[in-house]
Structure 1
C-alpha cells in the first residue's frame, strides 16, 4: 500500500514492505519506485524495504523548482527519519546511484552499507564519462518514435526477444513538461565531493552488456572507495532490477545480510 510521508518540503510517495534492517531503494533518472516491483518481494524476507519516488517522479510532490543532488539526499535522510529509521542500507540504480553517493557523502551516519548499480561516480558528469551520451540524448528527444531503439540501450537484444513488450517501454513517455524539465536539470547537478570520501562499506555492481553506463565506468569507482567489493553481472544490461531481479537480490542479500543469503 502506498504511503505518503512529509519530509521537509516534500511529500514523498513510498512503499514499505518486510521486516528487519531498513533497505532504501533509489530509482533511475526517468523511472519511479515501480521499477523495483519485482525486486522488493525478493528482498522483503530479509529487510524492511523502502521504495520511494524522488522529486518530480511518480507520485511524490515537491516545490516546483529544480532540485539538486543535495536536495535529493536530504529528502532521503528525512524520509528515513520520518519512518523511524536512524540508519539504513541503501541501493541506488543508475542516477539513483548518484543520489545514493550524495546521501553517503552528505549524511554518512545515515548510510549503513551502500550498493551502487549501473551508475557513474561523483563528481564527474555523465557526458564526460560516457562517449555515447549525445546519441542517447537524441534517442530520448525522439520519443515515442525511437522507443524500440532506445529499449536496446537499456536491455540486451536476447532479453528483449523473451520480453518483447519491453521494446515499447519508453513509448509511453510523457510529453515534455515543466516537471520533466526540472527533473532533467536535477539529473545534471553534481557535488564537489567525490567517491573517494565515501566511508560506508560499498558493493559496486555493473551489467556486462550495459550500453547506458559502460561497465568499466561503474566498476572503476571501486578503486577509489576504500575496500569496495565489485560484481560484473554476465549477460545483463542497464536495468538489472527488471532484467535479473533474482540475481540482483542474491548479491544484495549476500553483501548486506550474509547469514541470510541462503534463506
Structure 2
C-alpha cells in the first residue's frame, strides 16, 4: 500500500529495469495482469496498481475522472522514484493512460492502449452505431446499480468475465478474487463512479486533443468487441502509431490471450524511445 495523490493505493511491484505501469479496467483489479507481469518483469520494473476505488485501493467519494486517475498514476511514479515509464492501459485504464501521455509526454516512454474508447473522439461511429454498451447507462444513474446488484454481485461479474473471454472463463482463483473485489454496496459504488465520471473524462480528452497531439510512440490493440475503433480514434491525432487486432480474443486480453499479448508487448516496450519534450 502506498499513499499517492491523497489516497491509499494497492500496488504490485516486481522486476528490475525500465518501468512499465499497468492500468486495469472493470470489473478487474491488478490481478488482471497475472499472466503478463512475470514475462515483463524479466526486463522491466513492473508496477501494477489497483485503480482508485477498486481492489485494495481506497474508495474516496470523488476523483474518478480520467484526469484525476492520470494524476494518481503520475503520483505513483513519483512515490516509486520513477521519472519515466511505459504505460499500458486497458478498458477504464486506457483514458487515464492516454491523458498522462498527452499532459506529461516526457514521463511516458511508450504507450499501449487496449479495448477502450477515448471519450467522444471521432472514429468510433461504427462501433457506437447501435448506441453505447447497455451497462454504461445502467452504471451511470447514481445509486441505481448498487441497489439492484447488492447480493447478486457474483452473477453480474461473471457475465462480464464470460463475455470478456468469449465464454472460455477465467481460472477459478482469479474469478473469485474479482467477485470478492466487487462485492458490497460501497465496492459497487466506487466501481460505477468511474462510469459516472465519463462525461468529465470525455471533456478532458477533447481538451487535450484540441491543445496538442499524441507524440509518444503508441500501440493500439483491439479484440472483441472494440476491434479497431480505438485505432480509428487515434490515427488522426497520433504521430507514431502501430495497431494490432488479436484474433479469437475477448475483451479481457491479458487473461484470455496472454501469449498473444506478450508477443506484442515485449518487443514494443523493448524498443528505444526518444522522449518527447
Task: Report TM bin, short chain.
Answer: 0.7 to 0.9
Q: Is 1:154 equivalent to 2:151 in the alignment? A: no
1:99-248 aligned within 5 A: 99-124=96-121, 130=128, 131=131, 133-134=133-134, 143=152, 144-146=154-156, 148-157=158-167, 159-160=168-169, 165=172, 174-175=182-183, 177-187=185-195, 188=198, 189-190=200-201, 191=204, 192-193=206-207, 197-207=213-223, 210-211=224-225, 214-224=226-236, 225-248=238-261
C-alpha distance in 2, partners of 1:173/1:52? 14
Aligned pairs for 1:248-259 within 5 A: 248-258=261-271
Name the counterpart of 1:25: 22
Note the residue ranges of structure 2 that are not aligned, 5 or more in a row. Answer: 140-144, 273-277
SS state at 1:215 partner: coil
Give 5+ residue unaligned stretches, structure 1: none
- Residue 34 of structure 1: how far off its partner (Å): 1.2
For residues 178 and 246 of structure 1, what CA distance do their matches in structure 2 show?
Answer: 35
SS at match of 1:54: coil
Three-state SS of the structure 2 residue aligned to 1:197 is coil
TM-score by length of 2: 0.77
Residue 38 of structure 1: CA displacement?
1.5
Shift of 1:77: 0.4
Q: How high is the TM-score relative to the length of structure 1?
A: 0.81
Shift of 1:12: 1.6
Distance of aligned partners of 1:172 and 1:86 in 2 relative to their CA distance in 1, 3 Å threshold:
closer
- Aligned pair in 2 of structure 1 residues 110, 229: CA closer, same or farther (>3 Å)? same
- In 1, Cα distance between equivalents of 2:43 and 2:254: 17
Residue 65 of structure 1, CA deviation: 2.6
User: Compared with structure 1, are the counterparts of its residues 253 and 172 closer, same or farther at alpha carbon in structure 2 (3 Å cutoff)?
Assistant: same
